Amino acid sequence: MQLNHVIIVMGVSGSGKSTIGELLAQQIGLPFHDADDFHSAANVAKMGAGTPLQDEDRKGWLAALAVGIRQWSQSAGAVLACSALKEWYRQELMTGGPVVWVFLDGSEELVRSRLQARQHHYMGPDLLASQFATLEKPTYGLHLPIDETPQQLVDQIVAYLQRTGEMPDSKHKHTPGNAE
């Protein structure tokens, strides 16, 4: 059975993972999943109280995501928004199947301003410093600065997927610069 790639849009909270991931999934016709939805109630409560998660807190979450990646890669593939801050988290996720990494990179100041404007999310700006302290930037995948519009970022991701041969051709709906 041929496995399809799961495209993981990663970065700290507030970097635009969900926004970019949803837009990308819609544009290329893949299902979208948000890793936040896989956290246990205890993890959500901890973060909501302003307590950063520890590696031990993340083990069950990472295992559930790896199972999801395995399932999604056996169907059409998917787009997943996931912080994936540490290298060992990313290695754990890759046990699920083939992954394409897209790292959304921005300054702490820019991300903090976005978090302060965001409503109804358990991850507030007070945990941002711990996210940047935990972040181990990947040395692979596509790295994008987050100071462009969401559509510009998605167009760059689509171009990257086409260039690397990881675009799901049967699902492709839009090419940057082409009319739909």
**Domains of the chain: total:** 1
Are 102 and 122 within 8 A, CB to CB?
A: no
Per-residue confidence band for 173, with pLDDT thresholds at 50, 70 and 90:
very low
Question: How would DSSP label each residue in 129-168?
Answer: HHHHHH----SSSEEEESSS-HHHHHHHHHHHHHHHT-S-
Q: Is residue 176 part of a domain?
A: no
Average pLDDT value for residue range 135-139: 97
For residue 177 the two structure tokens come to 């610069």
Q: pTM here?
A: 0.88
Are 176 and 158 within 8 A, CB to CB?
A: yes
Per-residue confidence band for 171, with pLDDT thresholds at 50, 70 and 90:
very low
User: Which residue, among 180, 172, 9, has the nearest Cα to 105 in the 3D structure?
Assistant: 9
The predicted pLDDT at position 49 comes to: 83
For residue 130 the two structure tokens come to 């711990």
Domain range for 42 is 6-164
Residue type, 49: A
CATH of the domain at 114: 3.40.50.300
Average pLDDT value for residue range 47-54: 82
